[in-house]
Amino acid sequence: MLLAGAAAAAAACITPSPGKQERAFSPPSMPSGEPYEVLLPPSYRASPGRSYPVLYFLHDVFGDRDVLFREGAAARVTRAMRQGEIPEFLIVCPEGKRSWFSDARDGRRLYETLLARDLPREVERKYRVLGGAANRAITGISMGGYGAVKTALKHPELYGSVSSLSGAVMPLNWEQVERLFLLARWQIHRVFGDSADDNTLAENDIWRIVQSRERWDLPFDIFLLAGTQDKYGLDHVAIQLADVMNRHGIRAYAKTEPGTHDWSYWSRAFLEIARWHGRRFESPPATR
């Protein structure tokens, strides 16, 4: 009986979010269909005349498009929206595999193009989302945090706010990459090229992108959040990157707090990311 009760309690804790939708489409940037998931805000179905901002979420290297739901972060955000603690908006979660959310050097799978062109068009066709950069944001965790910041810097007209949680925003020059652990090196070689003389690291290195201009004039702020027990030292990287960004005219803010590089920290810290973006979205129009 005790085991049965524990199983029932566990099942109650992992009840699928009522606002979750699974989708797939066939974008020009990919050789096959691409899945994505959407977290609808609590009032979406009951308010057919209302449109909402949208936050694009990019997962970590060991995650997938479902990870926000599986780890409980989506439920936390939904609860905060329902209680009025966070303004309502959609969260769109594309599948990134281990792509670093970048266009592959071989030209076959163009994840940056997917994020910057194909996926927003798809979402704006299928869902009631508000137009304009002020109502579109991007964030990500670890590998996805890198993808979010890099994509925003290369396509600054698309977003009104940008963030990363434990973002892998370290320099991506060849010497730095060769110092990484084996799996990370293999993944980066697979995406950007495995030759020191023939790769696409330079145009995808956040630090080089930032330093490519003496002074930036971006329409968005950047928030870099990381845990102080991050095993890769990404808390220190976030602080250093924010400093470099601010010296080049980019409004960047780094915050560190107790936390590790895993979902024991991310599942609760993502709520702060959602709150931060919620404050920066334009107020949605009243329901008709």
Placement of tokens 């979902």 in the chain: 263
pLDDT tens for each residue of 71-80? 999 999 999 9
pLDDT of 8 > 90? The answer is: no
- Taking only the tens place, the pLDDT of each residue in 20-67 is 999 999 999 999 999 999 999 999 999 999 999 999 999 999 999 999
- The gap from C-alpha 193 to its chain's centroid, in whole angstroms, comes to 24
Are 259 and 269 a contacting pair, CB within 8 Å?
A: yes
In order of start, what are the domains of the chain with their CATH numbers?
Answer: 17-280 (3.40.50.1820)
3-state secondary structure 144-203: HHHHHHHHHHHCHHHCCEEEEECCCCCCCCHHHHCCCCHHHHHHHHHHHCCECCECCCHH
Report pLDDT for 250.
98
What is the per-residue pLDDT for 287? 42
Task: Give me the pLDDT at residue 176, please.
Answer: 87
| Residue 17 or residue 103, greater confidence | 103
Reply yes or no on whether the pLDDT at 181 is more than 90: no
Query: What pLDDT score was predicted for residue 179?
Result: 86
The pLDDT-based confidence of 105 (bands split at 50, 70, 90) is very high
Greater pLDDT, 16 or 101: 101
H helices then E strands: how many in the chain?
11, 8
| Ramachandran category for residue 182: left, alpha or beta (phi over 0 → left; psi -120 to 50 → alpha) | alpha
Task: Pick the closest to residue 172 from 152, 155, 147 (CA basis).
Answer: 147
Q: What is the largest CA-CA distance in the chain?
A: 68
pLDDT digits (tens, 9 = 90+) for 209-265: 999 999 999 999 999 999 999 999 999 999 999 999 999 999 999 999 999 999 999
Residue 15 has pLDDT above 70, yes or no: no
- pLDDT score for 17: 60
Segment among 56-70, 101-115, 144-158, 176-190 with least mean pLDDT: 176-190
Whether the pLDDT of residue 7 is over 90: the answer is no
pLDDT at 1 over 80: no
Judge whether 69 and 17 are in contact, CB under 8 Å.
Answer: yes
Confidence of residue 18 (pLDDT cuts 50, 70, 90): low
Judged against a pLDDT cut of 80, whether residue 272 lies above it is answered with yes
pTM: 0.91
pLDDT, tens digit (0-9, with 9 covering 90-100), for 127-156? 999 999 999 999 999 999 999 999 999 999
